[in-house]
Amino acid sequence: MLGEVLRAPGLLLLIDSAFLTGRRVLYSFIVAALRRAERVHVFGFEVPEEEYWAAVPLELSSSLTFHDGFSNPLNWEKSFHSLTLRDISVQGIREQVGNPAGPVTIVLDSLSWILARCPLFYVCHLLQELSGQQSEQGDAHLVALLHADLHDPGELRSVSLLADSVINLTDVGENPKAVITHRRKSGKVVTHVEQFMVSDDLSLEMTSQMDKEREDNASVDPTVNLTFNLRLSETERKCKESLALPYTFTDSKKTSLLRASSGSAKIFYDPEPIDDMDEDDPDDDLDV
């Protein structure tokens, strides 16, 4: 599933926390895009440019462009220009990315930095417009890193609903676990859980956890610890089987219905046990 998500166009949201950083996973996504011969534009606000050049293999670095928003965010130093909030717009990002002759991946590192300084509705519009951008030879990929513990649940949900794929990182044992929610082109939304590790060359090694989870679920008794009883005793089962169901045909009615019709209609009435039938005065029950 991770491999499918990496190649899917649209918005990919990578959610991490202070307990499990997703930065190496983000680097692995960037390296995977570079190996697919895509142009990668990183809009970086949280780490210096040198960290990216140290992570990316030298033979792939020519296809990576780093837009610096870390070194001089307030432009106090006049010797060089750094990205500011004015540059974080649909038009501003498109102008800096240009129109490359091939697939392009845009990386926002991080979306949390932008959300802390821009209104939520503005950020949602930005993501929606950029994720729908197309280059001359294919769809654009948009990858955004988001720190879950810096935002309230409403913000996380609003941004997640815009994403085509969401990877939520959680810690489990020696290797991290990725809870992946992906919306396919057909509109079907699938959720998958995978355990993975990032190797030294920043490639992802994945082990699916779905089979293990199914085995665990199969051994769980859903009736345990309920406040009511879902099982029948032997006496209750016999009473249930001997109970006559309502609105069932009697033997005489079945025989008459199966008999060949003579051209005349008949009305069959099966009286209930509580009915009070008086042949002499059939209207006795009416209050007249």
**Which bin fits 84, alpha (ψ -120 to 50), beta or left (φ > 0)?**
beta
**Which bin fits 37, alpha (ψ -120 to 50), beta or left (φ > 0)?**
left
pTM above 0.75, yes or no: no
Q: Tell me the pLDDT tens digit for each residue of 14-63.
A: 999 988 899 999 999 999 999 999 999 999 999 999 999 999 999 999 99
End-to-end CA distance of the chain: 76
Domains of the chain, start order: 2-218 (3.40.50.300)
60-84 b/e with 16+ CB inside 10 Å = b?
Answer: eeebbebbbbbebeeeeeeeeebbe
3-state secondary structure of 10: strand
Single-letter amino acid code for the residue at 161 = L
Q: Which residues of the chain have a pLDDT value below 70?
A: 133-139, 172-175, 207-226, 245-254, 256-266, 268-288
pLDDT at position 143, please?
Answer: 95
